[in-house]
Chain A
Amino acid sequence: MEKLHWEDFQAGSVTVYGPRLVTREEIIAFAAEFDPQPMHLDETAASATMLGGLAASGWHSCCLLMRIIADGFVNKTHSMGAPGIDEVCWLKPLRPNTQVRVRTTVLETRAPKSRPEFGFVKCLFEMLDEHDTVLTRLTCPVMIARRESGARA
């Protein structure tokens, strides 16, 4: 299948990627490597914290979101990565054995005049649980190569 270009993204489009089951084992494994705080490692210690029980590191949620969108569309797109993240809000804890999906809303498409080879697609990514509750909200621009350099400014 031909990979997508910047021109293929339209503001207002909504797509849901996933699902993926997040296990207790992977929550603990990620935390042990990158965020070894008690609330991400151990049920008893976690129950004494504000999270009220074992929950994934917020960074783990971001990384899982990245993986879900990589499989969902980034690797089927002429993506050039992202220059950064506007904002991430960790709204609700991600608990073990949650099946998550990522709702992707294209907020805006923009092509810089100075760089005709790519455009930006600004996206809102929301990690949802089985009840469509938003656990993590992330907004960022994705850099995507243009099909015809400078054709749609």
Chain B
Amino acid sequence: MKYFEDIVVGERTAVGSHTFRADEIKAFATNFDPQPFHLDESAAERSHFGALCASGWHTAVVWMRLMVDYRRRVAEAARARGQPVAAMGPALGFRELKWLKPVYVGDTIDYASEVVEARVSQSRPGLGLLSILSTGVNQRGESVITFVSTTFVERRPMKP
């Protein structure tokens, strides 16, 4: 990843997309969010969602997976060019997460992230702190999830 000093606020990253299958929606819900509307088609039809839909946590963690894969690709490309790679993370948390629409079986969610704030960490002056706004949009162009996460990123080392 880029060093803190090279990060431009407002820069947008196309993180990747994912199509949610019924079997993975149910498998995730069985482990982590066993509510009827995430587990069973007919129970979901009787619920206010109207059809089987993914746990909101599932929609969120798929962003994380795609983001890790994206960062790995960027890091590998930088190393191939002989450029240093700044360490990123860990994250401190997130805020203002909104599940705006259900994610139904077969929906394809396209994720994007944008740095909305960058500052030097007060507690760890060797690190920068980034606020990152992430969004997921379905194939109908509707936003289904947004949240703002906060994470550390390494600062450019001082020249000796």
Give the B-binding residues of A (Cβ under 8 A).
33-37, 39, 49-51, 57-59, 62-64, 66-67, 70-71, 74-75, 79-90
- B152 — nearest CB in chain A belongs to which residue? A50
CA distance A67 to B31 in the complex (A): 7
- Beta-carbon contact of A84 and B32 below 8 Å: no
Shortest 3 CB-CB contacts between residues of A and residues of B = A63-B32, A85-B97, A84-B98
**Closest A residue to B147 using CB positions:** A85
Q: How many residues on B have C-beta within 8 angstroms of the other chain's C-beta atoms?
A: 32
What A residues does B65 contact at CB under 8 A? 33-36
Q: By DSSP majority rule, is chain B's interface helix, strand, loop, or mixed?
A: mixed
Q: Is the interface of A mostly helix, strand, loop or mixed?
A: mixed
How many Å lie between the Cα of A89 and that of B92 in the bound state? 6
How distant is the Cα of A83 from the Cα of B98 in the complex, in angstroms? 6
Contacting residue for A50 out of B90, B99, B147, CB 8 A: B90
Bound together, the chains give a CA A87 to CA B92 distance in angstroms of 11
CB within 8 Å for A63 and B35 given contacts A82-B99, A89-B92, A90-B92:
no
CA distance A85 to B57 in the complex (A): 10
How far does the alpha carbon of A88 sit from the alpha carbon of B93 in the complex, in Å?
A: 5
Shortest distance from the beta carbon of A38 to any chain B beta carbon, whole Å: 10
B49 / chain A contacts, CB cutoff of 8 Å: 81
Distance in angstroms between the alpha carbons of A34 and B63 in the assembled complex? 9
Q: How far is the CB of B67 from chain A (nearest CB, A)?
A: 9
* Inter-subunit contact A36/B68 (CB<8 Å): yes
**A33 to B47 CA separation, bound complex (whole angstroms):** 29
B91 within 8 A of A: yes
Report the separation of the CA atoms of residues A33 and B65 in the bound assembly, to the nearest whole angstrom: 7
Q: Which of A50, A59, A64, A81 is in CB contact (< 8 Å) with B35? A: A81
Q: Which residue of A lies closest to B28 (CB)?
A: A63
B124, closest chain A residue (CB): A50
